[in-house]
Structure 1
Amino acid sequence: MITAQVTHAHGYVRLDIVYPDQKHHVVQQLRNIAIAQQYVNFLDRQYIITKLRSWLQQRRFALPASVSTAKLIVILGTLDRQQGNSIYKFVADNQSAFESLAPVPLSIQYNYYVNFIKPIIEYCQQDNAGSNALKSEG
């Protein structure tokens, strides 16, 4: 999801971080590549949780009778406080629950689902989800 270009310079690592929407761009300096990898993985998890939680809140209002929406929101809140890759497994395991909440193609929310939520679900299905490779410049 999140990509980071790494530049090594004078005893630190400079990360040029780009979010999937291409609008959010962050530059961060860290002590070493291991810390940089942890930081990017943390940002990746936070991005996924934030996007899914926001979308689920919207779907909760669009589908007020949906029990699965409330359940998914509660579980995301729990996963937000955990470290590790549990968010990726949770999304992959609950793919059908997320997809059942997708808006219809004529909805104004459909474009957001296709451009942000569906790619998150597909990313979490991958075997290497959560292990972002840092691209090094040298």
Structure 2
Amino acid sequence: MKLKLDFDEMADDFFDNTRLMGIVAPVKNYQFCWQLNQLLRLDFRINNDIEIQLFKKQRNYYFSIFEYREPNSSLVHYLYNNQFDGEYLLPEFRHLDFLWLLKGDLVADDFLQNLLTAIKSINSVQLVTELTNEKIRNKGHLIF
């Protein structure tokens, strides 16, 4: 008997009740996390256990993920690097430096708007936008 993974269903489950933002901020990931942690009183830390590895053009590419868990909530923030050595985690969004996924709890529109406004106030940030699931072609690349 052969079992087959249904990646579309996995992606749907993974992205159920999530919100995703794209960010243009041409700085190193650790610098950006430091700025977020300082200004927004967050505690983003790198999580090497969920780093994403893609194999393209006969080599491996590694996309780091920083994680912050909201205290007293099941909401978790994940900040993905969208590029590594000239390759992109989501090639359809080459202009984005970071992807910010909110997962684990419902995220109200006003909470997201306040977060977008706060991120925009950071000097190195040139653009912040919400990405809808329909716009993402390579959703599977975000699943860890």
TM range (shorter): under 0.3
TM value normalised by structure 1:
0.25
Q: Which has the higher helix share?
A: 1
